Each structure stands twice: as C-alpha cells, then as structure tokens.
Chains A and B, each alone.
Chain A
Amino acid sequence: MDRRKFLSAFKSRSAAPGAIEELIEPPETARTKTTLAPYTGPWRTNEVVHLLKRTMFGASKAIIDYFLSRTTSQSVDELINPVTPLPEPPVKEYDTTGALTQPDVNIAPGATWVNDPNNDGTIQSRRRASFKKWWMGQIINQDRSIREKMTMLWHDHFSTETVDVSNAQYIYKHHALLRSNSLGNFKSLVRAVTIDPAMLVYLNGQLNTANAPDENFSRELQELFCCGKGPGSLYTEGDVKEAAKVLTGWRNNATTISSYFDSTRHNTTTKTFSSFYNNTVITGRTGATGGDLELDALLTMIFSTQEVALYVCRKIYRWFVYYDIDSAVEANIITPLAAIFRSNNYEIKPVLSALLNSEHFFDVLNQGCFIKSPVELVVGVCREFKVAFPAATDYISNYALWNGLVSYSSNMQQNIGDPPDVSGWKAYYQAPQFYEIWINSDTYPKRNQFTDLLVGNGYTANSKKIVVDGAEFAKQLSNPGNPNILIDDLLNIIFRLPLSSASKAQLKTDILLGGQSDDKYWTNAWILFISNPADTSNATIVKNRLRDLLKYLMDMAEYQLI
C-alpha cells in the first residue's frame, strides 16, 4: 500500500473532533505482500524516524538529522556497525554497610566490581541491582547504533533471571557475552551461552552429570534457543535426552568467575538422534577435550537443520517489524531471510541488513504498529527529549536516577535482567496478543503517570532531577515560533500516526494560544522567551504551554506506538 493511499484511508475515516461517527471495526487488518527487495522510496523524516524508533531506544532530533543526510543503506550500515567501543563495566556505587559475611573491601568506590568474587548474599543483591542500573545507563547513553536493541533481543531470547542466577559476577559476564556477540555470529553465540556460567546455573547445566542427567538446558537449547516450536521443528523427546548427555560435565568456578569441563562427570556413551537430525550419531568422547568436541558436533547437527534460521529470523522479525507472520510474510520475508542467514554461516549482520534495507520494512503498513515496550517508553522519553542527566563523573547520582528508570519499567512489567521466565517476555511470543500484552488496565495508567511525571515535576534521586524541558526541545525545531510548524515538527518526532488537522488546530488553540485565535500570541511569547530567557515569567509562559502540550500528546494512545 502506498503512503498516499494509506493517508487517504486515514482521512476518510478519521473525523474532526466535532463529528460523531460509528466505530468502523476493521474487517480484516490489511497486511502486505512486499518483499526483501531494497527500499527505493523517498528518504524523509518519516522513514528515518521509523528506522530509528525500531532500531534504537529513541533518537534525538540531532540523530534524525544525521541520518537524513545519508542514504537508506548508509544509515542501515552505520546502525549495524557500531564504532563505539564496548562500555566500561558497572562500578561499586552501592552501600556496603550491614552485617556481611564477606565485607566488600577489595575494590574502591567507583571501581568495577565485576572481577571481584564476593559471594556475600547482601553484596550479591546490591551488585545485581548495580548491574541493572548500569545497564539502564548504557541504554540511556546508547551510541548511534542498533547494539542496545540487539543486546536486549538476545537477553529476551536467551532469557535468564538475575534472582535465579544470584551471582552478580556471573550475571555481568553473561550480559557482556550477549553484548559483545550481539552483532556477531549466532552459532558462536549459542556455543558460548551453552557453557556460560550464568546459563549453567539458570538451566541447571552445572548439575547435568553422567550419573544424574538434567535435561533442562538440552530442552531449551532446542525448544527456545535454536529450533523453536514451529510446525517444522520435529525434534523428539529422545533428542532432548541424548543432547543432555552430550552436555554433561560442565561446572562453574565462582572464584575465577568461569566455567570448566569436568571429564569425570561427562557421559561418554554414544548419542543417537532422530530423523529430524538426520539420525546423527555423536561418538562419546573422553578426556579434557571431550566436552568441547561433543558440543561442537551437537551444534553442527542442530545448525544443519533448516529450522534454526527460520526460527531465529521469525524472532528478529517480531523484534523489529511486527508480530503477525502470515503466509505472505513467511514466504516473502522469513524464508529468504533464513536462506541469507544460512548462506552467511549464521552471521547476524547480513540478516539485519537485508531486513532493514527492504521495501517490506519501510512498507507503510509496517509503520506505527509496534507497541513500545516499557523500556522503549521510559528510555524513549529521556532520549527523544534529550533529558539532561548529571555529569558522568557523578556516578552516584547517575546510578540513582537509572535505578528509578529500572523501577518504573519494572512496574510496567519489564524488569531488565529478570524476564518472567526462560521464554522471555510474552510480548514477543504469546499469540494472539503479542505486543498488546504490554498494555492493560494496570500498566496503561502507569505509562501515563510516568510521562506526566517527566514532563511535569520530573523525577528526583540523590537531589538530582531529570525532567523534560519542552522549551529546549522546541529550540531545535525548524520554526518553533510558528505554532502550526511547531506542532507538526513535534509530531514528526514523537508520533508515528497522523493526527487530524482538526485535532491539531484544537491543540494549538486550546494550549499554545491559550484560547486565542491569532497565531501571533504564541509567536510573540516565543520571541520574548528567546530574546530574554532569564525572565521567569516569559519562560514560564512558554514552558507551561509546552508542558501541557506534551502531556496531552504523551497521554494519547498514539504515543504508545512506534
């Protein structure tokens, strides 16, 4: 569907605020037959914002302008090839008082704790919290790339829960693994995750021994991480048992914060798999290299199926495009994307490049249909409005503020580091609702309360406040003194769906013009503010009206969509 047709559909349906109309129930939601053919249409703010809202956690006006000056493929290339080095790990910013069996004395405040094997329960708990704050900080301060979205995708995919893993050093190590491989090779990532200390704890791999097999990881490796539950995923219960035997013998060392292979715990029998795996036989191995050799053989077998690429491509599709995979999407997008994945030996970037450059990705029917996750909402407000945080050197205040954002998104049902279970967040797999699961009568008011707070009084922690400054935001726009252009520019950045001209006119009159009919009243107020920003009453006039405008827009259902 072309954009003009789409917009005219909107116009004919959406009435002016004056009119009463019956709700026309969409008979069948239109989907699309577009393909992975490269997008060749116009490259305007609309397309840039679509790409950035899907691949980042909110982009400022400056970032939008940056990509506007590039082509579509240049933009996608830059997004999937981050140049910023991986971040410094979390630091000791937490309280170390209390009755501790192992006082946290090896590291100085402000130095990282991730390599200090402290196993005191209280310290572990504080470090887990510290890790989450730090992670929120990374998302808030993300570079101009897709890395944070990919890191979150793999966290959702290889779901672990910090409360279950418990050991904060393992948790960080696991996270760093996802982050550093987020745009690398999927097969290598699966291999590393399989013997990652946190995963060995979370899915009992460390308890999986020759004498007492534990099938937990073996099952999820196939059901959740590689093959999935699609119609073509036909692994058997026998395959689960046999793979569990392959995976026996891996253990953790909390002191070195690493895993190792204990050949005495390894099941050295021959493992035989079903026809789904082409009746593969994995020879039992002994000795120190046995675990690695059998694991390699297992992954070679699993990755030889067609199903892995299909399953992971569906996951990526739902993460970036839309949840509804109908037969056209399966045929036109998922199948060719999976072929790209396989022919590139499971490198992730070629898949992202093909998808994000495609006419399908930019299809107007795939725009504006993605419901923001809580983290996308919370971080999006901060990033799109360039909410100012304290200087990086004031890490105590920054961690305190990031902590608040972790709590808010957690209250809206996305607790980073602690998805509900091994399947990850339901929004990305639970049919038929998918993303709609984020929005319910409990979470929706919380979303509005959060945006109301940030555009209103702001959130304060450690005596530092983060707040949306509408005037600073408006200053970057093309012509903030013109109330019509101001509203259009603002909507182009924060909304994905058009607002009727009648609604825009009402907002302008009611809010920016304070009930007046002449645009010059806003223009004059803006000029007065710009010419003498130190004058409190000039500033208050402009700021209060922008605050009210933002509050109104951010409370609208449209604001939840990207």
Chain B
Amino acid sequence: MKRRDFLKGAIPASVTLPGLLSPFSVKAFAENAPLVQALMLPTTITDHVLVLVQLTGGNDGLNTVIPLEIYNSYINARANIAIPESKVLHLTGVNKVGLHPSMTGIQSLFNDGKAAIVQSVGYPSPNFSHFRATDIWMSASESNQSINSGWMGRYLNYEYPNFPNGFPNSTMTDPLAIQIGSVASLTLQGPAINMGMSISNPTSFYSLLNGILEPAPSTPAGKELTYIRTVAKQTEQYATVIKNAANSVTQQVTYPTGNSLADQLKIVARLIKGGLQTRVYMVSFGSFDTHASQVNSIDTTTGTHAILLQKVSDAIKAFQDDLKYLGVEERVVGMTFSEFGRRIKSNGSIGTDHGAAAPLFVFGKNVLPGVIGDTPAITTSVSVNDNLPFQYDFRSVYSTLLENWLCVKKEDLQTIMLKNFQTLPLINTAACKVSSPNTSGTKLISNYPNPFAASTTITFTTAGGHTLVQVIDVLGRVIQTLVDEDYQAGTYQVVFKSTAIQKGVYYARLQNLSAQQVRTMLKAE
C-alpha cells in the first residue's frame, strides 16, 4: 500500500487536508484531527484483571509442590528438610505431586478447579543473584540481556501508547496499573516511563481514603512540608477515583490477620469491585530467602517456610473467596512468581541455597485447572550444585496470559515479549472480546508503516522549543537521533532509514520538555 493510499483510506471523504501531500506537512494535523484519531491503535476492550503476586527471595519449589512420584529421591536429596509423605496435601485427581501441608487454601482452590500449577518454570542459563534474576523475571529478558522495561510496562505501553499525555480521560479514568510497594516495579516500567501507580503500603492506602496527611512538626519546616504535601495530594490525579472506588465497597469477606499479603490483596479486591478499570495489580510478599532454618528440625512441616506458604495460601484463598462474594470472580486471574527456586539438595543449616526452575501457581475462576508439566527429575546421586532444569520458559506463561487473558492479538505478542513463545493451556479463552475505538490520550509520536522494512516515517507533535526524537533499542541504546533542535509548535515528519539495523523491537522516543512519549516499532524483514 502506498502512503498516499493509506492516508486516503484513513480519513473521511469529506475532510481535505491539503498539507498532507507535501513531504513535510507542518501543522496539518491538529491534535484532535480525524486523521490523528484514525491513526490510533484502538485499545483492546476487556474487563479482565491480572494480579501478579511476587514472592521475593526465591521460593523453594520442591517443598511447595512436593514430588510424590519420586518421593525417595526427594527425601534422599533433602532429608533434613523433607516434608513427610503422610503430611503432604493431596490434590484431587493428581497422584504425582502434592502440596506443602500448610497450603490448605491453595489445595481447596485447586480441588475447586480454580488453580493450576505449572511445573519447573525458568529460563536458559539461570542467574542466581536475587537482583539480576528478579530483573530477568520482571523485564522478561534473556539471561544475558539487560532490558530496562518490564513485560507489563510494555504491554500497557502497547495498549495505551500515549500515556501519560491526555490521561486520565473520558474512557480511561483510572490508573493503568496499581502496585503496592514504595518502589515502582520494573515489571510496570514502560519503554520511557513507569506505567503504574504505587501505593507505598496498605497504611498509605487507608491514609489516602481517610484524607490523612503524614504528621509534621509545628515548626516553620513542618509548616512548609505540610503545605507541599497538601498540594502533592491535590495533584495526585488518581486519588479521587481510588477513593471513590474503595468507598463504594463496604463489605468484604474476612481476610486473615497478621498477613501482609492478605492486607494487600484485600485492597486489590476492593478496588476491582469498586469499578476501577485498572488491568494490572502487583503485590509482593517475602522473604523466601531460606538459606537457614527453613524448617523446624523437630517438625519439618513447621518453621519459616511453612509460615510463609501458609500466609500465601491463606491470602490467596481469602482473595478468591472475596472475589466470588463481590461478584467479580469472572474477571480476575492471578499468578505467583519468584525470582528462582532453590537448590535440590538442602544445606547443612537446615535451609536451601539459590536455585533455578520452580513451580508457579495460576489462580482464578477462568483458569484451566491441573498440573502442567512433568514432575522434575532428581537423581539419586544429586550433588550440592545440581539445579532443576526448566521445562517451561516463564515467558511462555506471560505470553499465554497476554494472549488468552488480556486478549492481545497473537500477531502483536512479539512486540511486547520481544520474541515468540509457546502458548500453554492455562486459561479458558472464551472471554476475549473484539476491539473498538477508545479515547487513548494524546498521540505525540507515531510511525508508518509499522512493521517496517527499509524505512518508516515518524510523525511527531511538539509544543515548541527543544525537541528530540531518538530511536532506541530494547537495551536502551540510542540507535539514531533523528531530531535534536528547537521547533515551532506543530506536527512534523521525519524518515527513519532502517536498512542497517537488525529486525526486532525498537522505540521512537520523543522528548519535548516535560512531555515524553515512546512509540513501539517493529522492524520486520
């Protein structure tokens, strides 16, 4: 298709835009011009919500999902921490594995058909550093690659490419993602900015609901601090919608107390029921870094790890019950993840060291229940350095959730996941609906064609002043600077010649004072 044909096809017949046919059409596209609207990718319509539960520290998979069919090898490898066979919780219709005795909540979800277990999830050349492995899981990078965006951030950038310009708006009034925790997680980091909103902790959530400012001393410094905090509160653009959503929910089921994961999930359920269109929630819980005293040596079904697993299991069970009680069970799927599993063989301090692949849980009414994958193999001569190999790449789980739960078109998965991965039978796929146009904010930068081969034309809108357009690769390296000078306010075009670059995902980044926007581009052949 020629560019001219494309433009002709895209605009209503009655609208004439004479400036379009010149190579550099200035100010031809007003922000709300039909053409610009037409160029927007419509946001996928779905009311599905994904809840990510991060278990920080590296959860010991072998003591979470116990390999009953190789129980002798299991106990041989970790006699000092092994769970007695008789105590392992049975899963209906499953003989090869069972659950840690403290996980009665997950057991009941599984037996009700609301949970799945994916065995031995990992990736090639596993990394054993908490930080690095966490970054790999959050960015969905290769083991030897440092990618500075997160998989959910890229997904949200794909759905809402213009964020935060023009947000909130009439159709997206709510945060794109909400994370409980003080640091903006890499998971939600888009190619340019973080796509999520952080709520430091459950207390700050309730402070927000109740309009409580942190106390300040009655000194001049305290006076000014209070003033600035008041303005900051007023400018928190999502404070009101969150308050309204939360306040519309007055009854929930009883959650376990003294369980910080339960505290977080209780908020998530409340916000979902309260009507937020937020698609992604992220909570975290830890620490699972059980190098020593993982179990109580007198009774290995008790101890640090048992308490942690019980809290996870109880919290998720209460959450799932609450979703049902609130009538939103159909809309929510959750998954747990941890940066790695732990070593097959236990150590001398009744604990386990950093390992590799581990099982994860996917839960929700629309989950296809069952255990995916074989029970990991453990040799009788297992050595201290041996790790479980992965059966499923964690990115296959992500890719499946994107396609089958968040309804991303199959052909677009690669621009988010950076590669193609297999789809797993995890989700009842019936619920995905078709796309329709949406108010997706103010588009400041776009390109055509996309995907592209030898070149693509980038259209950008500047408010005037210094304007920068760079092409950046997924590692964050600047491939080419296309524009770097002062401009009059208006819309301009520049051609990016791409013959010299490898195929893959690239970002066109616009910087114009406080405005920053990133367009995802795919070089095909």
Chain A residues at the B interface, C-beta cutoff of 8 Å: 1, 6, 9-10, 13-15, 17-24, 26-31, 322, 324, 364-371, 400, 403-404, 407-408, 411, 435-436, 439-441, 444-446, 449-450, 452-453, 456-457, 459-463, 496-497, 506-507, 510-511, 514-518, 521, 525, 536-537, 540-541, 544-545, 548-549, 551-552, 557-558, 560-561
Give chain B residues whose Cβ lies under 8 Å from the Cβ of A452.
Answer: 193
Q: Are B183 and A511 in contact (CB under 8 A)?
A: yes
Q: Are B224 and A435 in contact (CB under 8 A)?
A: yes
Give chain A residues whose Cβ lies under 8 Å from the Cβ of B224.
Answer: 368-371, 435-436, 561
Question: Please, how many angstroms separate the alpha-carbon atoms of A58 and B203 in the complex?
Answer: 34
**B111 lies within 8 A of chain A by Cβ:** no
Q: Are B220 and A541 in contact (CB under 8 A)?
A: no
Return B140 CB to nearest CB of chain A, in Å: 15
Q: Are A561 and B221 in contact (CB under 8 A)?
A: yes
Q: Are B228 and A26 in contact (CB under 8 A)?
A: no
**B336 lies within 8 A of chain A by Cβ:** no
Give chain B residues whose Cβ lies under 8 Å from the Cβ of A364.
Answer: 219
**B251 lies within 8 A of chain A by Cβ:** no
Return A116 CB to nearest CB of chain B, in Å: 23
Most buried by B among A6, A435, A450, A557: A557
The B149-187 residues at the A interface (CB cut-off 8 A) are 181-184, 186
Q: Are B514 and A369 in contact (CB under 8 A)?
A: no
Q: Which are the 4 A-B pairs with shortest beta-carbon distances?
A: A515-B56, A26-B218, A369-B220, A368-B221
Give chain A residues whose Cβ lies under 8 Å from the Cβ of B228.
Answer: 371, 439, 444, 557, 560-561
Question: Please, how many angstroms separate the alpha-carbon atoms of A366 and B207 in the complex?
Answer: 29
Return A519 CB to nearest CB of chain B, in Å: 12
**B132 lies within 8 A of chain A by Cβ:** yes
Q: Are A13 and B225 in contact (CB under 8 A)?
A: no
Q: Are B470 and A460 in contact (CB under 8 A)?
A: yes
With contacts A13-B215, A561-B228 known, is A26 near B223, CB below 8 A? yes
With contacts A516-B56, A516-B286 known, is A507 near B182, CB below 8 A? yes
The B300-320 residues at the A interface (CB cut-off 8 A) are none
Question: Please, how many angstroms separate the alpha-carbon atoms of A435 and B225 in the complex?
Answer: 12
Q: Are B216 and A13 in contact (CB under 8 A)?
A: yes
Q: Are A407 and B513 in contact (CB under 8 A)?
A: yes
Question: Please, how many angstroms separate the alpha-carbon atoms of A482 and B212 in the complex?
Answer: 33
Question: Please, how many angstroms separate the alpha-carbon atoms of A14 and B203 in the complex?
Answer: 14
- Which of B25-33, B229-237, B416-424 sits within the interface? B229-237
Q: Are A29 and B222 in contact (CB under 8 A)?
A: yes
**B400 lies within 8 A of chain A by Cβ:** no
Q: Are B225 and A407 in contact (CB under 8 A)?
A: no
**B217 lies within 8 A of chain A by Cβ:** yes
Q: Are A17 and B200 in contact (CB under 8 A)?
A: yes
Give chain A residues whose Cβ lies under 8 Å from the Cβ of B226.
Answer: 26
Q: Are B235 and A445 in contact (CB under 8 A)?
A: yes
Q: Are A367 and B514 in contact (CB under 8 A)?
A: no
In the complex, which residue of chain A has the Cβ closest to the Cβ of B136? A537
Q: Are A23 and B212 in contact (CB under 8 A)?
A: yes
Q: Are B131 and A514 in contact (CB under 8 A)?
A: yes
Return A370 CB to nearest CB of chain B, in Å: 8
Give chain B residues whose Cβ lies under 8 Å from the Cβ of A517.
Answer: 286-287, 289
Q: Are A557 and B232 in contact (CB under 8 A)?
A: yes
Interface 0/1 of B187-224, CB less than 8 Å to A: 00000110000001101101100101111111111111
Most buried by A among B213, B217, B465: B217
Q: Are B513 and A516 in contact (CB under 8 A)?
A: no
Interface 0/1 of B263-294, CB less than 8 Å to A: 00000000000000000000010110100000
25 pairs across A/B with beta carbons < 8 Å? A9-B217, A13-B216, A14-B216, A15-B214, A17-B204, A23-B213, A26-B219, A26-B222, A28-B218, A29-B222, A31-B220, A364-B219, A368-B224, A408-B514, A436-B227, A441-B234, A453-B516, A460-B484, A506-B182, A507-B182, A510-B182, A515-B286, A516-B287, A517-B287, A560-B228
**B135 lies within 8 A of chain A by Cβ:** yes
**B511 lies within 8 A of chain A by Cβ:** yes
Q: Are B219 and A365 in contact (CB under 8 A)?
A: yes
**B148 lies within 8 A of chain A by Cβ:** yes
Most buried by B among A23, A28, A407, A450: A23
Give chain A residues whose Cβ lies under 8 Å from the Cβ of B222.
Answer: 26, 29
Give chain B residues whose Cβ lies under 8 Å from the Cβ of A459.
Answer: 511
Give chain A residues whose Cβ lies under 8 Å from the Cβ of B181.
Answer: 510
Return B129 CB to nearest CB of chain A, in Å: 7
**B59 lies within 8 A of chain A by Cβ:** no
Return A373 CB to nearest CB of chain B, in Å: 13
The B467-525 residues at the A interface (CB cut-off 8 A) are 468, 470, 481, 484, 509, 511, 513-514, 516
Most buried by B among A371, A544, A545: A544
Which of B130, B207, B218, B509 is A20 in contact with, Cβ under 8 Å? Answer: B207
Q: Are B221 and A497 in contact (CB under 8 A)?
A: yes
Give chain A residues whose Cβ lies under 8 Å from the Cβ of B56.
Answer: 514-516
Give chain A residues whose Cβ lies under 8 Å from the Cβ of B286.
Answer: 515-517
Q: Are A13 and B207 in contact (CB under 8 A)?
A: no
Q: Are A30 and B57 in contact (CB under 8 A)?
A: no
**B146 lies within 8 A of chain A by Cβ:** yes
Q: Are A441 and B221 in contact (CB under 8 A)?
A: no
Return A454 CB to nearest CB of chain B, in Å: 12
Q: Are B212 and A21 in contact (CB under 8 A)?
A: yes
Give chain A residues whose Cβ lies under 8 Å from the Cβ of B221.
Answer: 365, 367-369, 496-497, 561
Q: Are B129 and A541 in contact (CB under 8 A)?
A: yes
Which of B213, B220, B514 is A29 in contact with, Cβ under 8 Å? Answer: B220
Most buried by A among B193, B215, B466, B511: B215
Question: Please, how many angstroms separate the alpha-carbon atoms of A271 and B186 in the complex?
Answer: 74
Which of A23, A450, A525 is B514 in contact with, Cβ under 8 Å? Answer: A450
Question: Please, how many angstroms separate the alpha-carbon atoms of A429 and B127 in the complex?
Answer: 59
With contacts A515-B56, A541-B131 known, is A551 near B184, CB below 8 A? yes
**B446 lies within 8 A of chain A by Cβ:** no
Give chain B residues whose Cβ lies under 8 Å from the Cβ of A324.
Answer: 220
Return A506 CB to nearest CB of chain B, in Å: 6
Most buried by A among B182, B203, B484: B182
Return A25 CB to nearest CB of chain B, in Å: 8
Give chain B residues whose Cβ lies under 8 Å from the Cβ of A536.
Answer: 146
Q: Are B146 and A537 in contact (CB under 8 A)?
A: yes
Which of B131, B212, B214, B218 is A525 in contact with, Cβ under 8 Å? Answer: B131
Q: Are A521 and B225 in contact (CB under 8 A)?
A: no
In the complex, which residue of chain B has the Cβ closest to the Cβ of A7? B217
Return A325 CB to nearest CB of chain B, in Å: 12
Give chain B residues whose Cβ lies under 8 Å from the Cβ of A457.
Answer: 192, 509, 511, 516
Give chain A residues whose Cβ lies under 8 Å from the Cβ of B148.
Answer: 540, 544
Sample of 8 further A-B pairs with CB below 8 A, known A368-B224, A368-B225, A537-B127: A17-B203, A30-B218, A30-B219, A403-B466, A411-B513, A516-B57, A537-B144, A544-B186
Give chain B residues whose Cβ lies under 8 Å from the Cβ of A10.
Answer: 217
Question: Please, how many angstroms separate the alpha-carbon atoms of A540 and B141 in the complex?
Answer: 13
Which of B131, B182, B193, B232 is A552 in contact with, Cβ under 8 Å? Answer: B182
Return A40 CB to nearest CB of chain B, in Å: 22
Give chain B residues whose Cβ lies under 8 Å from the Cβ of A449.
Answer: 514
Question: Please, how many angstroms separate the alpha-carbon atoms of A518 and B58 in the complex?
Answer: 13
**B54 lies within 8 A of chain A by Cβ:** yes
Give chain A residues whose Cβ lies under 8 Å from the Cβ of B192.
Answer: 457
Return B211 CB to nearest CB of chain A, in Å: 8
With contacts A14-B214, A461-B484, A541-B131 known, is A29 near B223, CB below 8 A? yes
**B134 lies within 8 A of chain A by Cβ:** yes
Q: Are A29 and B218 in contact (CB under 8 A)?
A: yes
Question: Please, how many angstroms separate the alpha-carbon atoms of A14 and B219 in the complex?
Answer: 13
Return B426 CB to nearest CB of chain A, in Å: 26
Q: Are A24 and B57 in contact (CB under 8 A)?
A: no
Return A130 CB to nearest CB of chain B, in Å: 13
Which of A28, A365, A514, A548 is B184 in contact with, Cβ under 8 Å? Answer: A548
The B115-132 residues at the A interface (CB cut-off 8 A) are 127, 129-132
Q: Are A21 and B215 in contact (CB under 8 A)?
A: yes
Q: Are A558 and B225 in contact (CB under 8 A)?
A: yes
Question: Please, how many angstroms separate the alpha-carbon atoms of A424 and B289 in the complex?
Answer: 58
Most buried by A among B134, B135, B222, B511: B222
